Amino acid sequence: MSCYKIYPLHLGTITRPKAQLMATDKSGAVLDIPILAWYLTDGEKRILVDTGGLEPDGIHFMPYVRPESQRLEAALGRLGVLGADIDMVILTHLHWDHSGCLGIFPNAEFFVQRAELHYAIDPIPAHKNNYDLQRIFSVDYTILDGDTQITDGVSVIFSPGHSNGHQCVLVDTVDGPYMILGDMVNLMEAWTAVPPVANGYHVSLLDYHRSFQKLKHISAKVLPGHDPEVLKHPVYPAEENGELGIEDKKGAFQ
């Protein structure tokens, strides 16, 4: 069985009402939250889950803050990884803040759910600004229909609700399975609430409810999609002394 390390990549910061992240929130709070991608490696395979945002000043998309150090290439570079090194890119969904930068992975196979791709082509008008079709169709996809094992130790779990073809990613580690939740769950608080709370942005609350029921039956540690707390650890499973496993990883790549 492959055991992966999971590195959260901080690719910019967006500012949103908390109610957009948790539909039941009445606090009026406004949060600065990270745009995240996740680099997975078992020492051989190099996999990316999501790819961060489009250019921060894109006129059709929501502005956000992304210093040079938080560009995807820079974040991967600090781990000793080039875009050309990436074997697989798994997209939780195709919203602009999860599917930017697709052009820097010439050797990667891209995975997306069929339902997500179809909806991106013809969403309702209120959802149109979340999809940059030119960028999305700049690469070819391996199209998935539901739960699928991508490779040994990495599977996707179909979980519509936030978007029509959203998928979470289940990853085997030495500490057991971890689940990358994408925008299904933005904050840990939304996941641990009873019942769990949907994102304020969604295509179907009924689908959301069913996806929650499905995911709650999976025994795994979870990594929410926009929670600043996940950046407390540079790698998962978190190492006790707080040190990165980068030295090991670099060794494995050389």
For Zn ion, which is the closer residue by CB, 105 or 119?
A: 119
For Zn ion, which is the closer residue by CB, 130 or 155?
A: 130
**Site pattern 150..189 for Zn ion (x: CB under 5 A):** ---------------------------------x------
For Zn ion, which is the closer residue by CB, 21 or 81?
A: 21
Report the nearest approach of Zn ion to the CB of residue 77 (Å): 26
Query: Is residue 95 near Zn ion by the rule CB under 5 A?
Result: yes
Query: Is residue 42 near Zn ion by the rule CB under 5 A?
Result: no
| All residues at 6 or more sequence positions from 217 whose CB lies less than 8 Å from its CB, including other chains | none
Q: What is the C-alpha separation between 138 and 2, in angstroms, rounded?
A: 31
Q: What is the C-alpha separation between 226 and 186, in angstroms, rounded?
A: 5
Q: Of 119, 240, 128, which is closest to residue 175 (Cα–Cα)?
A: 240
Query: Is residue 132 near Zn ion by the rule CB under 5 A?
Result: no
For Zn ion, which is the closer residue by CB, 90 or 235?
A: 90
Q: Is the peptide bond before 237 cis (omega within 30 degrees of 0)?
A: yes
Number of residues that bind Zn ion (CB under 5 A): 2
| Start-end of H helices in the chain | 18-21, 72-77, 114-121, 133-136, 188-192, 205-216, 246-253
For Zn ion, which is the closer residue by CB, 18 or 95?
A: 95
Q: What are the counts of helices (DSSP H) followed by strands (DSSP E) for the chain?
A: 7, 11
Report the nearest approach of Zn ion to the CB of residue 98 (Å): 6
Binding residues for Zn ion (CB under 5 A): 95, 183
